[in-house]
């Protein structure tokens, strides 16, 4: 399966240099940031120049060029506490126990990861309606394009409603951009339309990603995911979550990252931001398992 979206693999490694697609400039400009040090990698991470699968790629590639998994893990965890970099570290160390060259280990791991992402979309396509009207909130790094291709391969079709995803507008800037590049039919909606979209039966399922998930079925994802799940439960609409590697997490002890206030006012030029504008921006929320219809992990399990 060939993807026609750069978001499927937004971070690349060539020799000892990492190239990161600057997602904060999309859809206006496609530009890559050169990363060849831990400090630059952390700056890219904190400023959300890449997210979702891009963070995974950035972590593994930084480990590859520095050769110090523990140092990179500690630094990445401090910068983005909600993301499970410790789990990624343990996975990489396990592969490195068999493949001693860290770059070769990273390449092997990421090829396996990508193969599993594609296989997952094929499994999801099997259970979705013949004409899937899908609402999504967060950009899932190319995987929704894979899903559309998988649906078409088995004679099904799909239409996407894309939440703009306030406050950082990833839906309007990233998801709609990649759908247009891939010629996938979609419409952008603003976040507060979700209830009326469901009330009018314009969608028949919701698909979202997740940054982390617990073994008992909870997910931690982009802020706004939780209210969508509650609405879906009310209207009897299936809510599906794409998860990575579920782990034992006490959700009461999760440190939810708060982003800078100015990101909520991204429509205002930094130089013109009034001093009296305040905001509250937790970057993630937690959706309890009782609101989730099924989770699809990278091992191919449905639960």
**What residues are annotated to the active site?**
211
Residue with tokens 């839906």: 171
Residues 240, 236: Cα–Cα separation, whole Å: 13
Query: Residue 165 — left, alpha, or beta (φ > 0 → left; ψ -120 to 50 → alpha)?
Result: left
Residues 119, 250: Cα–Cα separation, whole Å: 30
Burial 174-184, CB ≥16 within 10 A → b, else e: bbbbbbeebeb
Q: How far is CA 260 from CA 155, 264, 266, 271, 284, in A?
A: 45, 8, 11, 15, 13
Residues 90, 263: Cα–Cα separation, whole Å: 32
DSSP E strands, the chain: 11-14, 17-21, 32-35, 131-136, 157-163, 186-189, 205-208, 212-213, 219-222, 239-242, 284-287, 294-296
């Amino acid at each position: 399966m060939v993807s026609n979206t750069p978001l499927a693999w937004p971070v690349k490694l060539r020799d000892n240099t990492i190239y990161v697609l600057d997602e904060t400039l999309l859809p206006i400009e496609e530009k890559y940031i050169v990363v060849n040090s831990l400090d630059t990698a952390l700056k890219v991470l904190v400023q959300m120049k890449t997210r979702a699968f891009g963070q995974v790629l950035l972590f593994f590639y930084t480990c590859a060029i520095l050769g110090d998994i523990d140092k990179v893990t500690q630094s990445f965890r401090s910068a983005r506490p909600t993301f499970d970099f410790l789990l990624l570290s343990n996975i990489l160390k396990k592969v490195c126990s068999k493949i001693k060259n860290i770059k070769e280990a990273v390449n092997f791991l990421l090829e396996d990861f990508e193969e599993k992402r594609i296989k997952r979309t094929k499994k999801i396509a099997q259970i979705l309606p013949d004409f899937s009207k899908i609402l999504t909130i967060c950009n899932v790094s190319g995987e929704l394009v894979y899903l559309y291709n998988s649906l078409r391969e088995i004679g099904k079709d799909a239409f996407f409603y894309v939440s703009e995803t306030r406050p950082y507008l990833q839906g309007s800037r990233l998801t709609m951009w990649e759908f247009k590049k891939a010629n996938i039919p979609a419409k952008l909606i603003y976040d507060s339309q979700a209830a009326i979209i469901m009330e009018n039966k314009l969608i028949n399922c919701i698909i979202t990603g997740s940054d982390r998930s617990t073994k008992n079925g909870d997910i931690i994802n982009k802020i706004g995911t939780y209210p969508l799940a509650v609405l879906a439960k009310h209207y009897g609409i299936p809510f599906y979550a794409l998860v990575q590697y579920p782990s034992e997490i006490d959700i009461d002890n999760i440190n939810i990252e708060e982003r800078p206030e100015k990101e909520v006012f991204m429509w205002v030029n930094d130089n013109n931001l009034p001093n009296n504008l305040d905001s509250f921006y937790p970057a993630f929320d937690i959706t309890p398992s009782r609101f989730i219809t099924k989770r699809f992990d990278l091992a191919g399990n449905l639960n």
